[in-house]
Structure 1
Amino acid sequence: MTDQPPARATLSAVPTAAVLGGLLLIGLTLLGYQIAQSIVDIKLLERSVEVKGLSEREVTADIAIWPISYNVADNDLGNLYLVLQDKNANVIAFLKANGFEDKEISSSAPAVVDKQAREYNDGSASAYRYTATSTITVYSSKVEAVRDTMTKLADLGKQGIAIAGDAYSTQFMYSKLNDIKPAMIEEATKNAREAATKFAKDSDSSLGKIKRANQGTFSIENRDSSTAHIKKVRVVSTVEYYLSD
């Protein structure tokens, strides 16, 4: 008889342990559901759409770099340099007569070649021993004056100066990009938002805040090969927006 009380205590502990186990199982199940639901909520918050917005403008170049080159040949080196000096003076006078100032005109040292001194001289006959190329460069903000003067190069030809090269060696540049950048970025961002709004509407969603944005790189190119003084400025902005139901 003395062994029965402990036996009753053991039997009564069995349902208590089962209840605790059941409660623990329910708690873990609820915890798992809550975690899963949180993950779903986070994923919903991460819904987004990435769009691109374009802005383009045509601008006129404000700087012109115009190299004027010509060639001279002679058998006497000293006389060659005298001819170069004379013709350089004629070219500069021509430019000044068309409205350019001294500060806009620069002369580079002539490139002289002695054909007899070249290592690869094959000994073939040549009318002149020395040839030289002289270049006078106009660097000016008078873009239209440069374009107009380029059409008058025949006047130099009448003075015996044969201009080498062509119009494609002239560079036209646009230096005021910072003046139009803010407006173009605003336009590109606006276009991106319009595209994102349409996407959200078509997918029965609502457009949220910006998740991330990339301004993009500005590019400046000639509008076409025949109008190098007219530039096309372009920027593409990439913007990612949150979406919600």
Structure 2
Amino acid sequence: MPVDMTKHIGASIVLALGAIVSTWLIINTIADIKAMERTVQVKGLAEQEVSADTVIWPVFYKDADNNLDELMARVDEKNSAIRAFLVLQGFDDEEISVSAPSIVDKYAQEYNQSERGFRYVAKAGMTVFSHTPDKVKAAFSQLSQLAKQGIAITQDDYQNRVEYMFTQLNDIKPEMVQLATQKAREVALKFAKDSDSQLGKIKSARQGQFSIRDRDSNTPHIKLVRVVTSVEYYLAD
């Protein structure tokens, strides 16, 4: 049968027009989606100063002697004196834990053979774990009473430093996250205003990790809590 060329050409034109229209629709749809997804990413910072609620205070000292029995007897006497001092400062037995003394026999070491000094060196003492940092600060200022009894508390050793902690982070988390989010929104509103746009809804939000550090080196009992929230907003013309 002869082919009807007119119908064939017409069908081709229809298919071509359909493809053009489809392409145009796809392009405009993509353009609309991109226009809808104009966004701005901002960060909001929240900081709060808090007081430490828990403290660990290592109360340690060193002593030395050539006679181990005499050294250990002196360690027991000094431990009793330290405990009495701590009780006088208001600490309960539950807040005080005695550590086993660490004894070093310098004669058993291969180095410093020419400068041995005392043969036995003891490191002993106890640790205070308290939820009342003010008591520790007060007791710390009275260490001269132990010094008068011949007990020199080690303070310059990193392992024996007083450690202040803040353990009530969960109580202030919601308020700080809300504040950080508000700060982020303020930044986003300013950006939208400067770019002649309208701020839309939140597309995504991410809470950063909380950090707790000393406010400064002179006041370790005062902590600075910090969190950064990242928020992405839609923008509209």
Structure 2 residue aligned with 1:183 = 175
Report the 3-state secondary structure (helix = DSSP H, G, I; strand = E; otherwise coil) of the residue aligned with 1:146. Answer: helix
Amino acid at match of 2:169: L
Distance 1:106 1:144 in 2: 19
Structure 1 residue aligned with 2:143 = 153
Distance 2:7 2:221 in 1: 92
> Deviation above 6 Å: which 4+ runs of structure 1?
none
Superposed CA offset, 1:136-179 (max 9, x none): 11110110110111111111000011111249610000000000
Amino acid at match of 2:89: N
Distance 1:161 1:89 in 2: 11
Structure 1 residue aligned with 2:134 = 144
Aligned match of 1:201 in 173, 179, 193? 193
Superposed CA offset, 1:57-104 (max 9, x none): 000000010101111111111111110000000001011111111100
Distance 1:183 1:121 in 2: 58
Distance 1:204 1:122 in 2: 76
Structure 2 residue aligned with 1:112 = 103
What root-mean-square deviation, in Å, do the aligned CA atoms of Structure 1 and Structure 2 show?
1.6
Distance 1:142 1:166 in 2: 23
* Equivalent residue runs for 1:87-102 within 5 Å: 87-102=78-93
Structure 2 unaligned blocks of 5 or more: none
- Does residue 41 (structure 1) correspond to residue 32 (structure 2)? The answer is yes
8 Å CA contact 2:107–2:116 kept in 1: the answer is no
Offset, 1:47:
1.2
How many equivalent residue pairs?
235
Structure 2 residue aligned with 1:213 = 205
The 1:18–1:147 alpha-carbon spacing in structure 2 relative to 1, beyond 3 Å, is: same
* Equivalent residue runs for 1:17-96 within 5 Å: 17-96=8-87
Distance 1:127 1:167 in 2: 21
Offset, 1:243:
1.2
Distance 2:157 2:100 in 1: 22
TM-score, length-normalised on structure 1? 0.91
Structure 2 residue aligned with 1:3 = none
Q: Which has the larger radius of gyration?
A: 1
Between the aligned residues of both structures, percent identity stands at 49
Structure 1 unaligned blocks of 5 or more: 1-5
Distance 2:108 2:188 in 1: 69
Distance 1:16 1:114 in 2: 109
Distance 2:197 2:212 in 1: 37
Offset, 1:117:
1.4
Distance 2:212 2:57 in 1: 19
Distance 2:46 2:200 in 1: 23
